[in-house]
Amino acid sequence: MDDMLADAARATAAGADVVEARLDMLYMHQVVVESEQGQSDARSRIRKTEIKLLKRDDIDFEIDEVLSLLEAGIELPVILTCRPSRQGGHFPGTEEERCDILRKAIESGVSWVDLEMDIKKNVREELVNLAGQTTRIICSEHFDREPDGSDEIVSRVKDMSSLGDLVKLCYKTSGKRSGLCLFESAWGLKEEGLNYTIMGLGNAGDWTRIHAPVLGISMVYTTSESDPRETSSGQINTTELISAWEMLEYA
């Protein structure tokens, strides 16, 4: 919880407009793992460290208390997200338990809540109705694959646009081909008058983030971390993105 508030403070200082709080991450903890790569000769080995997420053994928080602390401790508007494993998240409980958390998030009066496209229809409709005019809805889908083509993405954005105030699509990217596919999709949507964000995780996944102002993308997800590994994962640091926009005369 302290890490979440500290991250929000860094994002605020960097100039972010909105902060996302990933409630599913509260059930995980980070572990630094070391490994050696290279030849059998010890002198030729390279020691490599990576961070892995592991499920917490003990859950020592109440979600109602967490929501109260977030409301009191974050100055900016907040997106509350509780991502299921089927969409790349880490919530360890049942779907019913997860939707109960989303329900409480909406009842807290949060600015935004992320409701995945594949939530059971009647449950999702209930949550949307509960949000009313107070909490805005992000309709999201996350894919552990590269996009089939720009037509697929454009079609999905249009189909999902009536299900929330903002459509979010995130795909796996591996380089120029998939990065360009995301870029072409956003370019094709920029005159449609829709609120959407398209991004990738992997090499070239940050193209649509960097060029969001000219692509008509409504919201850009960034990180407050400065680890170079974040860039290779398609994410981009908030401060660095703002600097890039200034250099490109987007800002």
Q: Is residue 220 within 8 Å of residue 207, measured between CB atoms?
A: no
Q: Which residues contact 213 (CB under 8 A, 6 or more apart)?
A: 245, 250, 251
Mean pLDDT, residues 94-100 = 98
Tell me the pLDDT tens digit for each residue of 191-223.
Answer: 999 999 999 999 999 999 999 999 999 999 999
CATH number of 2-28+56-247: 3.20.20.70
DSSP state of 215: H
Tell me the pLDDT tens digit for each residue of 106-151.
Answer: 999 999 999 999 999 999 999 999 999 999 999 999 999 999 999 9
Closest CA to 21 of 58, 57, 68, 56: 68
Structure confidence at residue 2 as a pLDDT band (50, 70, 90):
confident
pTM of the model: 0.90
Q: Which single residue is written with the structure tokens 């909406």? A: 106
DSSP string, 75-116: -S-EEEE--BGGGT--B-S-HHHHHHHHHHHHHTT-SEEEEE
